[in-house]
Every structure is written in C-alpha cells, then in structure tokens.
C-alpha cells in the first residue's frame, strides 16, 4: 500500500467538524474547523477536506469519529427490531433487572420501556444449560417457524439472544444462518456480547441490531464518496476499525466521538511519559473524564447509554451533564448546574443570541475570562452586559454581588466535575491526586486550574490542538480490535486445554480483519486482560497478563489489584470470569517540533479578571500561537487561540514546550 | 458561627459527602460474596454526624436509609462516644437498637477529624443467613426473636489493629455459609474505610468547623424545603388503612391504620389505631414505621429534598406500644421489615388519596415477593439463594403503571436466570409477563411476572415471605385492583397454592410457579 500521502482525522461534532491532517514523510500538518452540515455527515467530511485543501487522491487514510450511532441511541431514532429468545424468556427486556432509577419520584416512569414490543418477540423451544450442554435442541420446523415470524414482522433487522449462548453458541448459529437467508441484518448475542446475564446480553444485542441498518447505509455511502482512500472509523475502545467490521458490530461505535478525544489524550500522555493522567473534556453541554494509565485509556465493558445497557468494550468515560452552556439554577438543595442546557440556540446569554438564563459561560464572561474584542471562531460576539443581566436575579436572591456569584458558580461547577474525576479513579483504585490533568474541549482549559486545585492535582497539560483534539485522536489511534468472552474457570480446576482453545480462537477472530487489511502478524501486538474474581463475587478485577499464562503470577497480581481497589485480599480460590484481548497495529505519527525560543509577544490586551478571593486583577491576554517555546508566564494571564481560552490564575505558572503543549503548575 | 460558610462551599461539601456514601455502596456491591448483595444490591450506605443525624446517603433502598440514623442514635445510647477509637468498626443487628430485622447487619465506623469524633460511616447489608431455625433466617412459625437468628449487640469486631478473630469466629460459627458471610463482612468493613478516607481528605481541604457549618446549613435548608412542601398540602386530617394478609398462620387480615394531620408546615402521622402485635414474624419496629413515613412524605411532597437530619424536623410520628409497629423486643420481626413497612406506606398513600390523588400511584406490588432456596450450591458449599420478585407498579393520573418493577420502599434487583442456574441446583423454566394482571382503569396498572423454578438437586428447602396474596394491590379513584400474588408448588402431579409465610422441604422435580401481583388501575375505565 502507498504510504506517502496524508493521514486525515475528522471529528464531526454537533456544531463544528474538525480536521487534523498529517503528512508523515515531512511532519507537515494542517488543522481546520468548518460548520457541520446538519444531517449530512458525508457532506461535512467533504467540506472539511476541501477547506484543508486536500483532495481524496492525496489522502492515504481517512479516520473519523462519528456520533451517528450515539445520537441514534440517545435520541431514540433507532430502527425497529424483532427479538428471537428462548421460549419463556421473550419478555426479558420488559422485565429487565426490575429495579427503578428514581427512589422517590412517582411522577416519572421508573425506567425506560422495552425496545421490542410484544408483537415482535419470538420464542424458540430450545435450551442450553450453564455448562453449555444442549438440553433441548431446536428442530428444523421450529427454526423455520421463527424465520417465518421474523419475516412477517416486517423488520429489516433481527436480534437473537438465547439462554447461555456464551457457553454454547450452537443454537444461535443455527437460527442465525436460517435468518440470514431472508433478513438483511442479523445480530447474534454470542457474537455481540458473549457474556453471562441474559438481560444485559439481550439488551446489548438488540441495541446493536437496531443501529445496524443505519450504520450500514452510512458507511456504504461514505465508502462510495471517498472511494480512493482507505477509510476507518473510531470505535468506542479508542482504536480504529475497518468499515466492514464496524458495519457488522455498529454498537462498537457507540462512543466513537468521545473515544477519539480520549485516544488523543492517551497519545499525548504516552508521548510525555505520564504514568497516570485524567482527560478532562469540557464542552457545551457535557463533560467527559477518563483515566489514562501508562498511555492507555481504561476500558469498561459494563456501561449504559441513555439508560440502556451497552456491554461492549468502551473507553471508561464518565460523562456528566454539565458544560459551558449548562444552566445555573437555585432550587431545592441549593445552587445547581445542569443537566439542562442553553444548547446551541440560543446559547449562553453572553453569546448575544437571545439567551437570558444564566450559564457557566456567563459566569466566565462576568469574571473577564472571555475576550470581548475577539469573535469565537469568527461566529460569536461576546456580550458581557447580557451575561451580567442573566446572573443578576440569582445574585439578588442570594444577597451577593454578581462577581461573587460568578466565582461561586465556578466552584459548584468544579465540584460536580470533581465527583466525576473521583468516580473514574476510585473505581480503579487510583489516587487521583497523583494524576496529570489533560484539559481540552471548548471549556476544559478555562476550568482546569481551579478544578485541579479542588481535586488536589498539581500538574495540568493543555495539549496542542486542544480545540480539535478529537480529530487529532483519529490520526494517532492504533488500529485495534477488542473482544471479551466468558471463561468461568476456577484456579484449582484449571483446564489448560480448554483455555488454550478459547484463547486461540479469540485471537484468530481478532487477527482476521487486520490480516485482511494487509498487516503481517509480526506487526500486530496482543494485549491480554483476565477478569478475575473470588468465587462468589459478581464483579471481576482486571488483571493484565502475558502469554503463556502463568497461573501463579495471575493469582498474585489479582490479589494485589483487589487490595488496591477494595482494601483487602484473601488467599481463597479465584475464578477467571472472562478473557479480554486486544489486537493492535501501533501507529506512531510524528509531529514536527515547533521553532525554538523566540521573543515574548506583547499582550493582545490587558483587562480586569476576577479570581478567588474576589478581587480584580489587571490580566494580560496572549495569543497562543505566538507564545515562544520555553516561555514561563506567571498568572494571572489568559492565553487564547481561535477556539478556546486557557486561564492561568494568580499563583500559577504556564510554560510551553517544543511540541506545542502548555503546562500549568502552581508556582 | 452558624451559617458563616458561603453557599458554594456548602454545595462543594454536599457533593463530596454524597459521593462518599455512594462510593461505600459501590465497594460493597463489587466485593461482596452473596448474590443478595452483589446481584440484588440488598444493601445501603449512609454517613451520619457524631450525634447520629443523617449527613448523606447512597442511592440505595429507602427502608434501609430510613432507619440508619436511628441505628446510630440508639447505638450511641449503648456505647458512649468515649469508648470509640479511630479504626474501630462496630457490628450490630438488634432490631431494638434502631434496627429493622436481624439479617440486616450494620457496620458502623466512627470517623475522627482533627482528633475528635465527627461522623459515622454506616454500611448496612442483608446477610443471606443470620442463623436461627431455618436456612435463610425467615422462620415462618417464629413466635419470638430468639428463633430468628443470632442477636448481635454492638460488637467491636475491628480495631486499628485489625479484625478480632475470636469474635469473628464466634459469629461465623452461628451462621450458615460462613465463607460467604465472611466475604460480605469484609466488604462492609472496606466500604466504611473508603468513607473515612473521603472525609479525612475533605477535612484537610476545608477543616472540620467549615464542614460542620455546611452541614448545619444543609439541615436548615432541607427543613425549610420540607416545611414548604408540607405547606403545599391542603390542611386537614386524613385517615388511611391497609391490611396484612393475616395476623398469623391461618389468621385474618390485620390492619395498619394511620391518621395524618397536616397543619400549615407541620405534619403528624399517628399509627395508634393499628392492630395489636401479630403472632408471627410480621411485626416490626417503630424505626421502620418512621422510615415508611419519611419515604412517603418525600415521594408525595418533596422527592428532591436532600435527606438529612433537618429534613424531618417538621414531622411527628407516633406508634402505640403493643401494636404491630411497636411490639416489644421479644417479638419476631423478620418479615415486617419489608412487608409491614410497605403496609404503612400504603396506608399513608390511601390517606393522601383524599388530599392529593393526582400525586400518587395506585397500589403496586408492595411486597418483597420473597423466595429463599436453602441448601447446597452447585460447588458443594452451603448457600442460600434469596430472591425477591418484582410486580406491577400502580397506575397514576397521567400514565399507566410499569410492569415488573420494585415499588416504594425497596429497590433490589432480580438475579438473572443464567446466574441462578450456574450457581444453584435450580432451573428457571420461564420468566415472562403475567398477562392481564394489571388492574383496569383510565390508566392500567403494570403487569406482574411469572417465574417458574424446577428443583434439580436433593436437600433444598424453601421459604416464602410475601404479601398481597389475600389483599390485592388497590386501584385509586375508581381504578380496579391488580391481580393478587400467587405461588404454586407442583409436585408429582399434584399442586398446592403456598401461603405467604411457609418453610418447607423440596424434592427433585418440584416446580415452584411464582406469579407476582399486578398494579392497581387509576380512574374509571
């Protein structure tokens, strides 16, 4: 394959489409932002390429993160699905786990309703037991009837989820083969999520089935339109996948967008040699945080999206409904931020487009952090007076000044984010205070310093390309595939033969798409993670291991991790619940270093900004692109690029390195 | 000094404390051993101040959350603060020590900040067995508390030096499935340790005085909100009653009666007219009655009010000594915790039907719907499979009830069929909606569920503990009742409907068919 053209990463967001392109041979790069074409991602991609002056023929690889699947799920615009289940268990989605989401709210339905209505639930008389023995084999007539009913239901996509199929997929395969002859899209639970617990597996499989037609149509169109380049999509575990694999398993793209940003964060953390980092991506309506250990994002396989379980390997991102556009309200329990947002229209009051309710961004405007003379991306003019007016009623209610309120809003916003940071670190047994904070997204660099102090973090990096970071994540991502499979083997009764068979067949399945793309086995790295628990526990601890498996060592590593996370460990037997493997082809894009030390530019302006404790400081503003390598800038200072603002409060020092990253520390 | 702290610091501290309580539950759920905790989540976490007033709670189970403050207060009456040391973890389960029933074991860790006792972290977990006459510790024929299991007065099981192995071994020697229990116990200790770490960190940041000032302010805020919420209810006296299926084996329904008085921003709940204590384990404690009131007033008037000590200052609750809700310490109470408590809530809801029907849901499957299979697990160890079964939610003025969900005071989850079959000598033959079980009405009640178990191994026992078999979930405003609960045992070609309180031996091939109740309808159809 020719490898002398451009590597292009594109992230299609709700408002803007970002592009970052790199020519590896020379280290030349381009980055650009264009408005997203509503409901036409392919047009957005073409517009971004054109704006960057790139022709499809000059591009080797085009990698993109897409919110297509995410939005379809969150906005409930998925396709109808029929479900084939073991007879007697057709209502598995309706029953779920029987819990409710709100303890005290009688006005809200206790949980989301089933995705498959009763008339499209099809029972099959069959049974496999927990050990994989076929107890009742479905006969041909029963399978034919299932196919007839599925066809008659009129849907394009069918999910099959039979009891204990993770232990023996035979029955699912037989039904799947018969269905595929007459139904365009079929999802089998043992392929989508070969793990135990029927509700979660079935829900995941049905969700996959319901986005399959959407993903297939889109990927097909995209491939036709950019035919001359190799196309890849970001998957939720922070790697890139071929369109063929993505079309078969579209649910693997459920977190494609956030995963791209986290992929970039992982790349930066690895290149800087950071042992533990927290990515902090604060946007308009949400904030995503993720733990990155030794340059790799933590992965979760037990998440939810829009209230539905999604058991797929995904970056372990914690998303909270608070961002720059989140509304500030004084209600029950005190001051709260979000989850309601001013949205893109009208947006915060400070954007001068008719917003009147106070947001986090309005507080920042009142504090002087946003430059009134600049236009955000040339699209928005700031109106500080409107921001003040929006905050005034709340300030009156609390009997304090507008500035004091604005500082308070910052603190409360940071407190909600601190909870998210705590969650992603606590669940992994990591002391968050030892992490470096990687701040990006529109509002991340503005809040980073205060947030870091609140959480006890001493070091912040605002990486290069921080406002087009997800697009960067696309071109630095490894080509990777991840699979997880139930094992359920006890340490004293280890069946090495069975383990090897399982391991090798998973490995072959993971390597297949990489081989198909022309990668040789030597270039493919394999990462293995055992999910281990004590007998009787439900939740496993992740323990990485190398082949060949050393049982003794695995047990030792497990006990150590258990102690780190839960504070105790015993010498009891353990069980390997599942095996997760990741096959990857590493890509090491090199960006050219920036020119060496230069002259310190003069500030673009100087004006008052407020910080805690409330007092105005005359604060200089600098253009980020003009800051020389090696600069040391003492706060208070504001550093801006076209898209985002970095706040350096008093008592902090900002530095810039040769890679274009900004470092902020307490000085 | 009171209220000198700014409102933003208050909010920061509130977030941190709630996060600490939620982390406690996370630790128990992830590291415990019995399915009851790790699958069903029958556990709760709270942090109280040094006097036992609630500071923060997890998103757990309302009945537990409601009693935990009383647990600490009564614990303090038994164990003066001077006896507590940093590093201690005290275990207890006595119903009379601010408790509910013996299987809910509380681990209490005193937390010291700046050298002084500041708070308690409380981890409550339902142990799958607490000893007594029958596997799973639900003895249907119990007439006294001593038949229901091991009674643990405040016991310092852990100190800064570690666990006291003699006390631990004494305790475990009295329980079925000691290995499972030990894992659960360690998980509880770990969870209180996590809370301690969070509080110590918070104190480093803000100092104990500021945290205390923030707590006072949160108390005042919640009190003001609760008073405002009560003031939003029409003044008046409202009476409601609901019935237990029976007042003992083969008996007649027993009444729980409440008289609510709303006067301005105050509310009182008087349960004095409730029937006398019953013969079996359906009695409960005044603390449980109070937890039921706390739940109900929040659900009806102020669901988003931060629960803390201040939240309940405007409420008065009265129970009568000798009644089902204050039976005396010798009476058995194991089922009362999740059955009679729900009757108290239903009585309150029926009373409020006269005042604010549009805010309520009709009667739901307000019973644990409990089956306990005792005996050997597949791996040969002794274990109990304790399963609660959800049913239909009652309809509301503006929507139908949902099928198969936990209603009001409980929020445990089901155990997946694949987990049941992998761990126990039981097959789950089916699990489907119980068609037509929801009550008709302008809005329909939610459907119940059918789950059928087949016994595959020898030596298993079964316990039932459920209500709504005789007294069906009620409709509101003319809506029809939901279908009542029904459990049927099929054995060798014969079948028998089981009562709601039974202990029996099972045989290979037995089939137990569980049909859970539907929700009541709302409004005339």
| B12 in contact with chain A, both atoms CB, cutoff 8 A | yes
What distances in angstroms separate CA A103 from CA A174, B243, B293, B352, B412, one per listed residue? 43, 24, 14, 19, 11
What residues of chain B, 85 to 144, have a C-beta less than 8 Å from chain A?
none
For residue A281, what pLDDT is reported? 92
| A195 in contact with chain B, both atoms CB, cutoff 8 A | no
Are the C-beta atoms of B235 and B265 separated by less than 8 Å? no
Are the C-beta atoms of A35 and A66 separated by less than 8 Å? no
In which region does residue B186 sit, left (phi positive, over 0), alpha (psi from -120 to 50) or beta (all else)? alpha
Nearest CA in chain A to B430: A88
Cβ-Cβ contacts under 8 Å, A90 against chain B: 432
The model carries a pTM of 0.91
Nearest CA in chain A to B419: A197
For residue A535, what pLDDT is reported? 80
- Among the partner residues A107, A398, A537, nearest to B33 by beta-carbon distance: A537
d(CA A299, CA A237): 7
Walking along chain A (667 residues) 10 residues at a time, the average pLDDT comes out as: 79 84 87 84 91 90 88 89 98 94 90 92 97 96 98 97 96 98 97 93 97 94 83 90 90 90 93 94 88 90 86 89 88 75 82 89 93 64 91 92 93 88 81 91 90 91 88 90 88 92 92 88 93 84 92 95 84 91 84 78 92 87 92 93 88 93 92
d(CA B413, CA A280): 33
Structure token digits, residue A8: 């292009």
| B59 in contact with chain A, both atoms CB, cutoff 8 A | yes
The CA-based angle B229-B235-B238, given to 5 degrees, is 105
Structure token digits, residue B120: 């308690």
**Pairwise CB contact (< 8 Å): B59 & A427:** no
| A454 in contact with chain B, both atoms CB, cutoff 8 A | yes
Q: Can you tell me the ipTM of this complex?
A: 0.93
Beta bridge partners of A337: A328
Q: Domain residues of chain B, as ranges?
A: 7-220, 361-525
For residue A3, what pLDDT is reported? 66
| A108 in contact with chain B, both atoms CB, cutoff 8 A | no
B314-334 burial, b at 16+ Cβ within 10 Å, e below that, comes to bbebbbbeebbbbbeeebbbb
**Pairwise CB contact (< 8 Å): B183 & A103:** no
**Pairwise CB contact (< 8 Å): B432 & A110:** no
Structure token digits, residue A44: 């957005």
Nearest CA in chain B to A454: B205
d(CA B508, CA A253): 47
For residue A377, what pLDDT is reported? 54
Of the candidates A663, A602, A657, A606, the residue with the CA atom closest to the CA atom of residue A636? A606
Cis peptide leading into A659, omega within 30 of 0? no
Residue range A471-514, pLDDT digits in tens = 999 989 988 888 888 898 999 999 999 999 999 999 999 999 89
Residue range A605-643, pLDDT digits in tens = 999 999 987 789 999 999 998 999 999 999 899 999 877
Cβ-Cβ contacts under 8 Å, B420 against chain A: none
Residues of chain B with pLDDT under 50: 1-3
Chain A nearest CA to B185, separation (Å): 11
**Pairwise CB contact (< 8 Å): B416 & A199:** yes
**Pairwise CB contact (< 8 Å): A566 & B190:** yes
| A88 in contact with chain B, both atoms CB, cutoff 8 A | yes
| A304 in contact with chain B, both atoms CB, cutoff 8 A | no
Q: What is the DSSP letter of A359?
A: B
Strand pairing of A59-65 and A6-12? parallel
Contacts of A303 (CB under 8 A, 6+ apart): A309, A310, A311, A312, A314, A316
For residue B1, what pLDDT is reported? 38
For residue A375, what pLDDT is reported? 54
Of the candidates A328, A36, A273, the residue with the CA atom closest to the CA atom of residue B8? A328
- Among the partner residues B11, B23, B404, nearest to A415 by beta-carbon distance: B11
Cβ-Cβ contacts under 8 Å, B129 against chain A: none
For testing the chain A interface, which of B200, B405, B424, B433 should be mutated: the one with the most A CBs within 10 Å?
A: B405
What residues of chain B, 313 to 342, have a C-beta less than 8 Å from chain A?
none
For residue B3, what pLDDT is reported? 46
Chain B nearest CA to A595, separation (Å): 42
| B35 in contact with chain A, both atoms CB, cutoff 8 A | yes
**Pairwise CB contact (< 8 Å): B12 & A454:** yes
| B308 in contact with chain A, both atoms CB, cutoff 8 A | no
């Amino acid at each position: 394959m020719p490898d002398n053209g451009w590597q292009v990463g594109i992230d299609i967001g709700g408002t803007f489409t970002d592009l970052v392109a790199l020519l590896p041979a020379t280290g030349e790069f381009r980055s650009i932002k264009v408005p997203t074409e509503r409901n036409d991602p392919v047009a957005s991609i073409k517009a971004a390429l054109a704006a960057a002056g790139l022709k499809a023929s000059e591009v080797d690889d085009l990698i993109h993160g897409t919110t297509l699947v995410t939005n379809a799920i969150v906005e409930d615009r998925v396709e109808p699905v029929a479900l084939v289940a073991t007879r007697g268990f057709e209502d598995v989605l309706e029953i779920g786990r029987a819990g409710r989401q709100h303890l005290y709210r009688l006005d809200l339905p206790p949980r989301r309703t089933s995705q498959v209505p009763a008339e499209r639930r099809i029972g099959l008389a069959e049974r496999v037991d927990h050990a994989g023995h076929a107890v009742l084999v479905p006969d041909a007539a029963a399978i034919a009837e299932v196919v007839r009913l599925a066809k008659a239901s009129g849907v394009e996509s069918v999910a099959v989820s039979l009891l204990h199929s993770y232990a023996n997929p035979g029955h699912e395969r037989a039904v799947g083969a018969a269905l595929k002859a007459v139904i365009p899209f079929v999802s089998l639970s043992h392929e989508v999520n070969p793990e135990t617990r029927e509700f979660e597996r079935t829900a995941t499989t049905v969700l996959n089935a319901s986005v399959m037609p959407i993903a297939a149509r889109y990927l097909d169109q995209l491939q036709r339109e950019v035919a001359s380049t190799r196309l890849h999509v970001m998957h939720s575990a922070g790697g890139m996948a071929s369109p063929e694999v993505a079309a078969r398993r579209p649910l693997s793209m459920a977190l494609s967008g956030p995963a791209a940003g986290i992929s970039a964060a992982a790349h930066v953390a690895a290149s800087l040699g950071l042992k533990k980092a927290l990515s902090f991506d604060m946007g308009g309506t949400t904030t995503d945080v993720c733990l990155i250990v030794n340059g790799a994002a933590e992965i979760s396989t037990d998440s939810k999206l829009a209230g539905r379980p999604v058991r797929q390997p995904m970056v372990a991102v914690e998303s909270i409904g608070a961002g720059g556009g989140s509304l500030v309200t004084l209600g029950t329990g005190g001051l709260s931020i979000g989850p309601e947002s001013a949205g893109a229209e009208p947006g915060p009051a400070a954007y001068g487009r008719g917003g009147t309710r106070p947001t986090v961004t309005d507080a920042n405007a009142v504090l002087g952090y946003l430059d009134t003379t600049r236009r955000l991306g040339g699209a928005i003019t700031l109106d500080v007076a409107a921001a003040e007016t929006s905050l005034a009623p709340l300030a009156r209610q609390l009997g304090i000044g507008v500035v004091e309120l604005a500082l308070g809003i910052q603190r409360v916003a940071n407190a909600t984010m601190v909870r998210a940071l705590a969650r992603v670190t606590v669940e992994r047994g990591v002391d968050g205070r030892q992490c470096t904070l990687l701040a990006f997204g529109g509002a991340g660099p503005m809040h980073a310093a205060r947030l870091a102090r609140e959480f006890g973090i001493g070091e912040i990096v605002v990486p290069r390309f921080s406002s087009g970071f997800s697009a960067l994540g696309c071109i630095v991502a490894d080509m990777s595939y991840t699979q997880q499979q139930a094992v359920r083997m006890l340490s004293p009764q280890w069946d090495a033969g069975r383990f090897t068979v399982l391991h090798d067949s998973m490995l072959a399945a993971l390597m297949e798409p990489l081989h198909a793309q022309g990668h040789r086995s030597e270039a493919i790295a394999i990462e293995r993670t055992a999910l281990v628990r004590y007998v009787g526990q439900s939740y496993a601890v992740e323990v990485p291991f190398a082949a060949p498996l050393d049982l003794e060592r695995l047990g030792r590593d497990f006990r150590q991790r258990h102690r780190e996370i839960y504070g105790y460990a015993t010498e009891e037997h353990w069980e390997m619940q599942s095996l997760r493997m990741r096959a990857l082809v590493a890509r090491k894009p090199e960006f050219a270093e920036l020119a060496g030390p230069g002259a310190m530019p003069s500030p673009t302006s100087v004006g008052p900004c407020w910080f805690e404790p409330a007092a105005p400081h005359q604060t200089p503003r600098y253009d980020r692109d003009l800051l020389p390598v090696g600069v040391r800038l003492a706060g208070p200072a504001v550093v801006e690029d076209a898209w985002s603002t970095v706040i350096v409060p008093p008592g902090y020092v900002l530095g810039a390195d040769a890679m274009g990253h900004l470092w902020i520390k307490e000085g | 000094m009171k209220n000198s702290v700014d409102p933003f610091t208050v909010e920061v501290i509130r977030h941190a404390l709630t996060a600490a309580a939620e982390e406690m539950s996370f630790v128990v759920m992830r590291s415990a051993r019995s399915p009851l905790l790790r699958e069903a989540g029958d556990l709760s976490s709270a942090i109280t101040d040094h006097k036992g007033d609630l500071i923060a709670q997890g998103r757990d189970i309302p009945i537990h959350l409601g009693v935990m403050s009383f647990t600490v207060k009564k614990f303090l009456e038994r164990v003066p603060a001077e006896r507590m040391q940093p590093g201690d973890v005290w275990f207890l389960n006595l119903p009379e020590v601010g408790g509910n029933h013996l299987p809910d074991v509380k681990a209490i860790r005193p937390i010291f900040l700046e050298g002084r006792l500041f708070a308690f972290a409380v981890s409550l977990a339902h142990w799958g067995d607490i000893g007594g006459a029958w596997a799973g510790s639900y003895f249907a024929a119990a007439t006294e508390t001593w038949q229901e299991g091991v009674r643990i007065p405040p016991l310092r099981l852990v100190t800064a030096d570690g666990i006291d192995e003699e006390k631990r071994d004494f305790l475990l020697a009295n329980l079925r499935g000691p290995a499972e229990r030990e894992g659960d116990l360690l998980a509880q200790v770990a969870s209180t340790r996590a809370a301690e770490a969070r509080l110590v960190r918070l104190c480093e940041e803000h100092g104990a005085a500021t945290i205390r000032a923030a707590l006072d302010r949160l108390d005042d805020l919640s009190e003001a909100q609760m008073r405002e919420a009560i003031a939003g209810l029409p003044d008046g006296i409202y009476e409601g009653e609901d019935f237990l299926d029976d007042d003992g084996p083969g008996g007649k329904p027993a009444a729980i009666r409440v008289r609510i008085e709303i006067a301005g921003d105050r509310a009182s709940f008087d349960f004095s007219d409730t029937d006398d204590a019953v013969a079996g384990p359906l009695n409960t404690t005044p603390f449980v009655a109070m937890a039921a009131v706390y739940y109900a007033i929040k659900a009806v008037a102020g669901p988003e009010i931060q629960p803390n000590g201040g939240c309940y200052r405007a409420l008065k609750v009265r129970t009568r000594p000798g009644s089902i809700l204050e039976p005396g310490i010798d009476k058995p109470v194991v089922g009362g915790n999740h059955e009679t408590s729900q009757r108290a809530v239903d009585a309150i809801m029926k009373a409020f039907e006269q005042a604010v029907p549009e805010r309520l849901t009709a009667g739901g499957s307000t019973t644990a719907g409990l089956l306990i299979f005792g005996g050997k697990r597949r791996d040969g160890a002794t274990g109990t499979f304790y399963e609660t079964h959800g049913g239909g939610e009652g309809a509301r003025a503006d929507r139908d009830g949902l099928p198969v969900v936990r209603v009001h005071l409980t929020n445990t989850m089901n155990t997946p069929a694949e987990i049941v079959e992998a761990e126990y000598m039981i097959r789950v033959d089916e699990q489907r909606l119980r068609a037509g079980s929801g009550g008709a009405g302008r809005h329909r009640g939610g459907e119940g569920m059918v789950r059928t178990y087949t016994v595959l191994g020898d030596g298993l026992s079964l316990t039932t503990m459920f209500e709504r078999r005789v007294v069906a979930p009620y409709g509101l405003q003319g809506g029809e009742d939901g279908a009542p609960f029904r459990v049927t045992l099929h054995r060798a070609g014969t079948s028998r409907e089981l009562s709601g309180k039974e202990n029996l031996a099972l045989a290979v091939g037995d089939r137990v068919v569980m049909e859970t109740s539907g929700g009541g309808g709302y409004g005339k159809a």
